[in-house]
Amino acid sequence: MLKEFRDFIMRGNVLDLAVAVIIGAAFGKIVSSLVNDLLMPPIGLILGKVNFSNLFINLSGTPYANLADAQAAGAATINYGLFLNNVIDFVIVVFVIFLLIRAASRLQKPKAAAPAEPTTKECPYCISTISIKAKRCPSCTSEL
């Protein structure tokens, strides 16, 4: 049973999947940092010094200065700023995956094979199909 399990784990598909999951998780952290630390601050500045991670709708009725205070008090909130950050994360990840798949598919396209040379031709006299190497038509015995 251990040998079968080892053989299963050592198959290429399982190892490839494990590597892909690990790289994907690391890539997700990089994209999240890109969005939260590099993209959203300038966008928030352009839109009037808005901090997207602090945008929320308070459902409790008690006013709170920021999202952290509302969450610390246990207030019900709709965190649409965090949702916007996650949507931008998703769009960037999907776009990068699209670019990678597009590049990979270009590399994997098989080159079109040259058309094979014909091996037969038609006799101009009787219109029967004959070998391209024939000097006489076997049907009408005409010289070609």
pLDDT for residue 40 is more than 70:
yes
pLDDT for residue 128 is more than 70:
yes
- What is the homologous superfamily of the domain 2-109 according to CATH? Large-conductance mechanosensitive channel, MscL; domain 1 (1.10.1200.120)
Q: Determine the residue type at 124.
A: P
pLDDT for residue 55 is more than 80:
yes
**Mean pLDDT of all residues in 70-96:** 86
For residue 47, the number of C-alpha atoms closer than 13 Å in the C-beta half-sphere is 10
pLDDT for residue 53 is more than 70:
yes
pTM check: above 0.75: no
**Mean pLDDT of all residues in 35-52:** 80
Q: Determine the residue type at 115.
A: P
At residue 37, the pLDDT reads 83
Length of the chain: 144
Rounded CA Rg of the chain: 34
Task: Judge contact between 93 and 31, C-beta under 8 A.
Answer: yes
At residue 12, the pLDDT reads 65
- Mean pLDDT, the chain, whole residue set: 82
Query: Which pair of tokens denotes residue 129?
Result: 């199909």
Residues of the chain with CATH 1.10.1200.120: 2-109
